[in-house]
Chains A and B, each alone.
Chain A
Amino acid sequence: MWPGRCPASSSSTSCTTTPWAARRPSPRRPSPPRSSRPPPRRCLRSSSSRASPRARRKSPTYAAAPTEPNESRRPRMTTELVQLLTPEGRRVHHPEYAVDPSAAELRGLHRDMVLARRLDAEAVTLQRQGELALWPSLLGQEAAQIGSARALRPKDHAFPSYREHGVALVRNLDPAHLLSLFRGASNGSWDPAENNFHLYTLVIGSQALHATGYAMGVAKDGADTAVIGYFGDGASSQGDVAEAFTFGAVYDAPIVFFCQNNQWAISEPTERQMRVPLYRRAAGFGFPGVRVDGNDVLACLAVTRAALDHVRTGSGPMLVEAYTYRMGAHTTSDDPTKYRDEAEVEEWRAKDPILRLRRLLEREGHADEDWFAALDEEAETLGRRVREIVRTMPDPDPSVMFENVYADGHALVDEERARFAAYQESFVDAGRSN
């Protein structure tokens, strides 16, 4: 008879590969017992001076992290926010993460962010005009997306969620593909192999496993390729993300888990998703995690590049938490004024990723007014092109419904396709095709 299924054995509670996890004290104050915790919202708005999840959220440490002895082969796990560029546009030295882009590269990063923001703004407008069914805005997350995407090599693979329009632009994906998805003219349509940019994934967290499986394949091939899987703070609550961490770790897959913690999962704040800073979750799975200022494009570039280099060595995954903020709505369907304070938005407005780099470019004399003006013109051209693409986009031929359901064909699909064609044909015969 069959032996039945054994439950997973729970052996040690400590993780031998992450000694720092046990030693490093939590910067967070000890939690009160769960029953005496204040309700997480409403009351907090009127008591901002009190130590609360909101207050904690507002004060990530911006200072450089002190270094710590480390016996492991894994890189050190930085517990504080890695920052290389202050909101005022001043450079900050970080002992572990450095990047020294040329003036042209700095201008390139700025250009990418401006174009991503312009694409996004145009798409939001088009949705308001009824031309798109939905649009998830990336406003505020330009640095996290451009910095991480610019860290990729051409052969690396990116697995997006559904908001990675900036990553898509960097990977040379024609915006028409993104727009057709959100117009409802396709369900994806692009070839992931063309730019190594995989399909958007709307079910939260699913792509973390696809990225991990892909990276497992890369490891088997012995290829010099790394994989980056994007997801958000809300997705960190999904089982698939936890399972991706497990699979990535136990198979030493060359994957960077890149979480854009934009603070809100539709209307639910991060306090509804986690009680421990997200990047620290990596320690429990046996790989390093680091939190980066997600509004600092230089830090995102440096940290992601270091993370990709780390995973390329065959040492297993790395988690990067880009601490950022979604300035707009989750998608055009929700109204953030119903669930969050304008003061919070204002606070983050001061940390704007584009303004920050522009200040650096101006301060260090890398770009003049003419250059910025030319970039504005380029952005306007992109905006016009986006409008043009959407307004001239044909509806797909109805027969597309039956195409590619199966690779090898399927009798039922063939039968229904034929029936549908005959039905359509009947209108033509009756002279009522229009």
Chain B
Amino acid sequence: MVTKSLPLAKALNEALRAALESDPKVLLMGEDIGKLGGVFRVTDGLQKDFGESRVMDSPLAESGIVGTAIGLALRGYRPVVEIQFDGFVFPAYDQIVTQLAKMHARSQGKVRLPVVIRIPYGGGIGAVEHHSESPEALFAHVAGLKIVSPSTPSDAYWMLRQAIRSDDPVIFFEPKRRYWDKGDVDTDLDPGELHEARVAREGTDLTLAAYGPMVKTCLQAAVAAEEEGRSIEVVDLRSVSPIDFDTVQASVEKTGRLVVVHEAPVFFGSGAEIAARITERCFYHLEAPVLRVGGYHAPYPPARLEEEYLPGLDRVLDAVDRSLAY
């Protein structure tokens, strides 16, 4: 067993290194990922070890990065591209939505596009505008894409390796405020399926469902609630498309209450989908309506206000109180 304690960003780096070593068709592309090692250093040292033809610094053009990755995938490569920040993905949105997502279906299965798009996303690091957004719902609405987001270094390592091995396009949302959180990574582990949710903490009174950066917040909320005598279960969804509703359903059938937490705006967000589906599946088990905690229907605010915008411990606990009050 090879277990190491690694920060999440370093776990991603190790996953990329392992993927590059194990499959000569894996390529990395992105802005500043070579010599600099990426603005978050996730690709640190990889160009030095694997060369410029496998770890490619790209022109500053997001549509070009994704569009050429599609062409490389058509040629048999497995490109892993980095979009530098969440808010910069939109120039590539057309290529992702109209091309990458649809080509497998259009060709009736003859074309496979194993492209991974890594996007550092979410707020909480005091960034300027366009550097803190959570656009996952915009992509989850599009059939043909898989959307995942790890919350721990171990998941970061294994989910990225699984995403690269997948024959489907995967949008890999990296919780940038958790890049520096450390955790154990067992590189010999036999990981679960990429789309499987995980019960991160057991409880009996209420279920908190979250993914990516909000899992840690929800775990902290569960600890705080415990001091008030409340037993909270936390489900780490890991995958936003597909969503493992079976695991959420099992948890809600046990607790009778569900609060969904994400950084993205609540309106038309992934929480809405989860609330609707769980209401259909668990109507007679629910003791309270499914509640949602997330961002507001407003542009991501200036960083000095982000603590008000982001769901923190207090807002999650407030929703827990409201649910338990029914």
User: A residues within 8 Å of B by Cβ?
Assistant: 1-5, 8, 186-193, 198-199, 201, 203, 206, 208-218, 220-221, 239-240, 243-244, 246-247, 250-251, 400, 403-408, 410-413
Contacts and interface: CB of A to CB of B under 8 A. Distances in A.
B288 interface: no
Contact of A188 (B73, B106, B243, B245): B106
Contact of A4 (B39, B67, B108, B245): B39
A400 B108 CA distance: 9
Interface stretch (B53-61, B182-190, B318-326): B53-61
Interface string B128-169: 100100000000000110100000000000000000001110
Contacts of A406: 104, 144, 146, 168
Given A5-B85, A411-B242, 9 more contacts: A188-B108, A190-B110, A206-B95, A213-B72, A239-B61, A243-B59, A246-B64, A404-B104, A404-B107
B63 A243 contact: yes
Interface stretch (B74-82, B208-216, B259-267): B74-82
B303 to A, nearest CB: 11
B250 interface: no
A217 B143 contact: no
Contact of B71 (A193, A217, A404): A217
B207 interface: no
Contacts of A199: 103, 106-107, 111
Interface string B98-117: 11001111111111100000
A407 B112 contact: yes
A408 B113 CA distance: 12
B68 A407 contact: no
A419 to B, nearest CB: 11
B36 to A, nearest CB: 8
B63 A240 contact: yes
B75 A405 contact: no
Contacts of B71: 209-217
Contacts of B58: 247
Given A213-B70, A240-B64, A187 B39 contact: no
B244 interface: yes
A198 B110 CA distance: 11
A5 B88 contact: yes
Contacts of A210: 67-68, 70-71, 74, 99
A192 B40 contact: no
A190 B107 contact: yes
B258 interface: no
B94 interface: yes
B255 interface: no
B79 to A, nearest CB: 8
A192 B144 contact: no
Contacts of B195: 410-411
29 contacts: A187-B106, A188-B106, A188-B107, A188-B108, A189-B108, A190-B110, A191-B107, A191-B111, A192-B74, A206-B95, A213-B72, A214-B71, A214-B75, A216-B71, A216-B72, A217-B71, A240-B63, A240-B64, A247-B58, A247-B68, A404-B108, A405-B104, A405-B105, A405-B143, A406-B144, A406-B168, A407-B167, A410-B146, A411-B242
A188 to B, nearest CB: 4
Given A209-B67, A406-B104, A192 B111 contact: yes
B40 A2 contact: yes
Contacts of B18: none
Contacts, number: 169
Main secondary structure of the interface of B (DSSP, over half): loop
B89 interface: no
Nearest to B115: A213
Contacts of A2: 39-40, 125, 127, 131, 176
A412 B245 CA distance: 9
Contacts of A412: 241-243
Contacts of B66: 209
Given A209-B63, A403-B108, A406-B104, A3 B39 contact: yes
A250 B64 CA distance: 12
B84 interface: yes
Contacts of A405: 104-105, 143-144
Interface string B232-244: 0000000001111
B84 A216 contact: no
Contacts of B102: 187
A221 B245 CA distance: 43
Contacts of B77: 217, 220
A371 B95 CA distance: 47
B67 A212 contact: yes
Nearest to A159: B71
A244 B59 contact: no
Nearest to B58: A247
Given A217-B76, A243-B67, A247-B64, A191 B242 contact: no
B107 A189 contact: yes
B61 A206 contact: no
B70 A209 contact: yes
A214 B74 contact: yes
Contact of A239 (B31, B63, B245): B63
B111 A214 contact: no
B60 A8 contact: yes
Given A4-B39, A217-B76, A246 B61 contact: yes
B316 interface: no
Contacts of B244: 411
Contact of B167 (A190, A212, A408): A408
B69 interface: yes
B89 to A, nearest CB: 13
Contacts of A190: 107, 110
B99 to A, nearest CB: 5
A240 B76 CA distance: 22
B104 A407 contact: yes
Contacts of A193: 110
Q: Which 9 A-B pairs have the closest CB atoms?
A: A213-B71, A209-B67, A217-B75, A213-B68, A243-B64, A407-B167, A214-B71, A188-B106, A404-B109
Nearest to B77: A217
Contacts of A213: 67-75
A397 to B, nearest CB: 12
Contacts of A209: 63-64, 66-68, 70-71, 95
A3 B110 CA distance: 42
A329 B128 CA distance: 48
B108 A1 contact: no
Given A2-B39, A404-B108, A413-B143, A198 B61 contact: no
A192 B110 contact: yes
